[in-house]
Structure formats: C-alpha cells, structure tokens
Amino acid sequence: MSLKKISEIIILILLVFATLTLSVLLYARFLYPDADYEQIAITIEHLTPKVICAALSLKDYILALLFFVFIYPLCYFLLSKKQQLIALFLMVLLSLHLTGYPEHFILSHTKTTLFEQHYIAPETLKLTFPEHKKNLVLIYLESFEQNFTKEEYYQKNLLPNLQKLQQEGQSVKNFSNLPGATFSIGAIVASHCGIPMRTKLAKPDIYQRSYFLPQAFCFPEFLRQNGYQTAIIKAADITYTDADIFAKSHGYEEAVGFDEIIQTYPEDELKSHLGTFDGINDKSLFEYAKKQLAAFAPDKPFMLTLFSLDTHAPNIYKDPACPAVFNDERDAFLCTDQTVADFISWFKTTPYYENTTVVILGDHLLSYSLSKKKTPERGTYNVFLNLDDNLKLDTTKTYSTYDLAPTILESLNIKLDNRALGLGRSLFAKEPTLVEQLGFDTLKTALRQQSDLYEHFQTPKKERSGAYLPYQLGTVLNAAEVLAYTDVYKKVLTQNYLDAITLTLPEHPQNGLQLKIKFNAVLNHKHSVTVTANDVVIGRVKGTKYPKSPFELTADIPESALKDNKLKLIFRNDSGKHFVAQMGIVLLELVITEK
C-alpha cells in the first residue's frame, strides 16, 4: 500500500472521529447549554453503558448524529485533502471550545487565595445544640426552579402546592448560580460542606476511589457526632458519581438508591416503580421514605435526606397516573409537586413533625429553559418549614448553594459561633454572603482557580501501602472496603469494577470455609456468572430479568481451592460473547466464615 493511500485512510479515520465527537458535543451543548468543563468531565468520568442507555432515548441518539450525517459527506466528498485537514483542525478547536477545556486550563493554572482567606474550617467552629435536638428532613428536588410558579411563562403555575408551602414557611429568592454546584453531586457537596465539587485526575491506584474529599468536613458529620441517626435515599443509583462514598465518608450511616429500593418490591410490581435514568419514580421514593422514618429509633434525633429523579433532563419521566395537562415536561413538574405535597401532608400527621425541620430544595437549575418566552430570572426552589420562632431568614440576601450548608445547620436551632461553614454564610445571620462581599464575577472566577487548600481536601488521610490488610474471618466487605484487602482489580471503562479479588486468609480451620457474596454484574448479556476460587469452580449463579437483581452465592470453599492461605476469586461471564470491555462486578457484600 502506498504512502499516499495510507495518509488518505488516516485522514478518513480522523475525520470520522472528529465529526462524530463534534456531533455529540454539539447535541450535549444543546441539552446542557450552561454546563462547564467540571460538570462535563465528572459526567464523562462516570459514564457507563447502563447510564448512557438510561439517560438518552432513541430520539436523542438520532439528533446527536444529525450533524455527522450532514457534515461528514460534505467534508469527505467535496473537499480536497488540504481542505479536509483544515476542516479537521477547525473541528478539533470547536470541540475543545464546546467542552470548556481551554478556559478551564487557564483558570486551573492560576492561583486563588479564596479558600485561605474565606474558608471557615468546621473544626474551628463551636456549636451549641438546643436542649431538645430537632430532626431534619432534607428533600432535594431534581432541577426545580423558583420561577416555575410564574403562569405568564408556563401557562400555569407548575408548583401550586410547593408555593403554598413557601407561604407557610420561609424561603429566599436572590440566587446566584456558581461553578462547582451546577449539577447534582456538586449541589450535594456545596450544600453539605460549603465547598465546590471539582474533577480530580485519576491515580493509578484505585484505592483512592474509597475516598471522597476525605479532608473536607460536612454538616451531617456534626449531627452524627452528636447522636443523630442519618440516612440518604436517592431515587437513582446511589453509586452514580460516587454519592454512596461521599455519604458514608461524611456523616451518613445509611446510603441507599435504586438497587436497594427495588429489592423491596415483588417482581410483578417492579415496572410500576420505575422512572427515568434507570431509577425509581418519585412516588416510590417517598413511599420508601416512610419506611425509613419508621425504622429510626424513636428516642434519638434523625436526619433523612431524599433526592428525587423524575424531572432529570433530558428523559424527564411523566408518571402515567398523573394528569396530562400539557403532554410535555411541565406535567412531570406538576406531578412531583403533588407527590411532595402528599408526603408533607402525611408527615404532618405523624408524631415526627412537631420536632422536625423540613427543608425542600431544588438541587440546581434545569439544564434548559421550559419557557418559550424570554427566560425569567432563574433560581432554585427552596423552603424551610417548621422553624423555631426565633429563626428568620434574611430574604434580602443574595445567596448561592454554598450558603445552604450553614443555613440548614442553623435551621435546627443549632448555634454556630461564626455563622458560617466552609464558603457558606448563614442566611439567618446579618453578615454578608461571599457573593455579596466579593461580587458574583470575582467569586465565580475564584471557584475555578487552583487552590492549595482545596487540593488538601482531596488528599487521602492515609496513603495505601504495598502491604494489604489480612482478611479476618467474619468481616463483611463492600466494594469500597475490599480495595484495602485485595491486590487484584481491573479498571473497566471509566468505572472501577472488580473482576478478581485476592485475599490473604488467616490459618483456616480444618472444617473448611464458607463464602457468602452478593454482587451486581455489568456487560453481561446473559446475566449468568461463574465464580472460581483459585481456579476451582465453586458456583454458577443467574440473575433475574430486568431490572436485574444482584447475584447471591453461598458456597463452600474446598481445601483444594486454598493455596498458602491465599484466596483468589474470579468472576467469569457465561454469555460466551466477546465484548470490547471485560465484564466486571460491583461488590455489594462479601463475607467468609467457618463452616
């Protein structure tokens, strides 16, 4: 093959790749026009086939490829080779621009002293709890905006019930949409810890995945240290964007999501509980929340956090049981508005309500405007219900998601000596917020600049060494915990899935050992897995039809499967098909005991 022919093939391949990339980015920018590089990078980092299939419909795939269908033939058939190279170069530049990377690169290579000057370290705070500690129910509503109440923009008040709750409680309106908090996991971090969520370059050792901002301190940790029971329930997969690791690292005893909730329903009911983004629907979320409330010990205060999903763009879920007023996305917001109102009405009839503060928040702005008219002034929905009489929000303040962290803490009538947490300033206090003090543009830039103190938040408290922990019989391990015990794991796609686990066991008893394991499998079409221990088959397991239940296996470990007290478990796909990526598992539970 001639050099000229080879160069033509290379240009052809590069054109295909560049045009496809640009096509996808153009559609992504259409869906999420305000997304910055941090949001894009964090989303890409956690993409899996499951997430991609759940998040987009066939219509989205077709629309995403329209640019490619029209532009690629023009570039290939009508342009000369020199012109194709120019077009290729321009498409690369445009793709970079669409990701926001050039601006991110510049800002991340300039330093800010924002954290050094204005971060209030939680360990320096003095907290005074009331004599009778108040419970907290914290509800995040996916993409709920305050302006959805305006009939002139949407033909109807989309939040009639939530607006009534605002009239009953207290709320603030002057919202500033700042970087690091414009997407779900970022909003959780900002409103819990008072700091932004940023990308972090992956390290070779995925032991780091068991940490989530390990040096940061978030307000649920204060509550947990002071006797609170804490639980977070997400309608989506709790492991998506490592929300489970964040929760367990920062004060939550329990963190559950779709996989855990769906197991509580009979198989013939499963479809009625499904929503969008491969999660449960909002009605099922709030029904499950009632069970969690009943599970809390009555003699201890609690914090329950809920996170809805139906209104997650682009595949917003419209519950067929709800009225079809507009036959578009607006119906979903009307439906969740009613669902939340029903839950609050029920909650008021329970003995919990009298001593509970209820906080309802839109996590972030919707990725696009629901209004066909000029976009109204936008801000996230919020209301604080059942506040003590001495607490009054300053409704004149301009605030951001960061200010919610100390505000939620003080809504429980807990006194903070500095009236601040992280970069947040309490909206019950007279002191200005950082938006007011520094100005929106200055703060927006500083939040995206490099900071030594912020880098410290991401530093593990203890680095992993080459000596792994010996496994003690009876210890129950999950995905995050097993990384401290094993030296064999693989990185599949952009997520960390185990495909083998190697454990060092103590001197095993003569009667032998028994393994109990529960796990989810990915990239497994047949949904059947063979488990071997040191190359000895100890079991084959099959899962149920979609939505897939976890595999569960209880098996004896024969003497022949133990070599020098080392146990290597390998999980093999039984489908007999070859995949681009190797199958892996997400470990839910593993325990080895004596028989």
pLDDT (tens digit, 0 to 9) for every residue of the chain, 595 residues total?
Answer: 678 788 878 888 888 899 999 998 998 888 888 888 988 888 877 776 667 777 777 778 888 888 888 888 888 788 888 888 899 999 999 999 999 999 999 998 999 999 999 999 988 889 999 999 999 999 999 999 999 999 999 999 999 999 999 999 999 999 999 999 999 999 999 999 999 998 864 443 444 556 789 889 999 999 999 999 999 999 999 988 889 989 988 999 999 999 899 989 988 888 899 999 889 999 999 999 999 999 999 999 999 999 999 999 888 999 999 999 999 999 999 999 999 999 999 999 999 999 999 999 999 999 988 887 777 789 999 999 999 999 999 999 999 999 999 999 999 999 999 999 999 999 999 999 999 999 999 999 999 999 999 988 987 776 555 556 788 888 888 776 777 777 544 443 334 456 678 888 877 666 778 999 988 776 545 567 888 888 888 888 876 655 566 788 999 988 777 767 788 888 877 765 433 344 567 788 899 988 8
Element (DSSP H or E) covering residue 130: none
Alpha-carbon separation of residue 168 from 119, 138, 144, 171, 382 (angstroms): 33, 17, 19, 10, 12
Q: CA 460, CA 53: separation in Å to the nearest integer?
A: 33
Do 567 and 517 contact (CB within 8 A), yes or no? no
Tokens in use for 513? 């050992």
Question: What SS3 string covers 377-437?
Answer: CCCECEEEECCCCCCCCCCCCEECHHHHHHHHHHCCCCEECCCEEECEECCCCCCCCHHHH
Please tell me whether residue 550 adopts helix, strand or coil conformation: coil
In the prediction, which pLDDT does 492 show? 39
Tell whether pTM > 0.85.
no
Helix axes 81-99, 101-108, angle to 10 degrees: 60
In the prediction, which pLDDT does 112 show? 95
Where would I find the beta strands (DSSP E) of 61-151? 127-128, 135-141
Q: CA 266, 269, 274, 279: dihedral to nearest 10 degrees?
A: 0
Where would I find the beta strands (DSSP E) of 482-565? 500-504, 513-522, 528-533, 536-542, 551-557
Do 247 and 255 contact (CB within 8 A), yes or no? yes
In the prediction, which pLDDT does 520 show? 76
Say how many C-beta atoms besides its own lie within 10 A of residue 584's C-beta: 25
Q: CA 369, CA 237: separation in Å to the nearest integer?
A: 26
- What counts of helices (H) and strands (E) characterise the chain? 21, 19
Please tell me whether residue 358 adopts helix, strand or coil conformation: strand
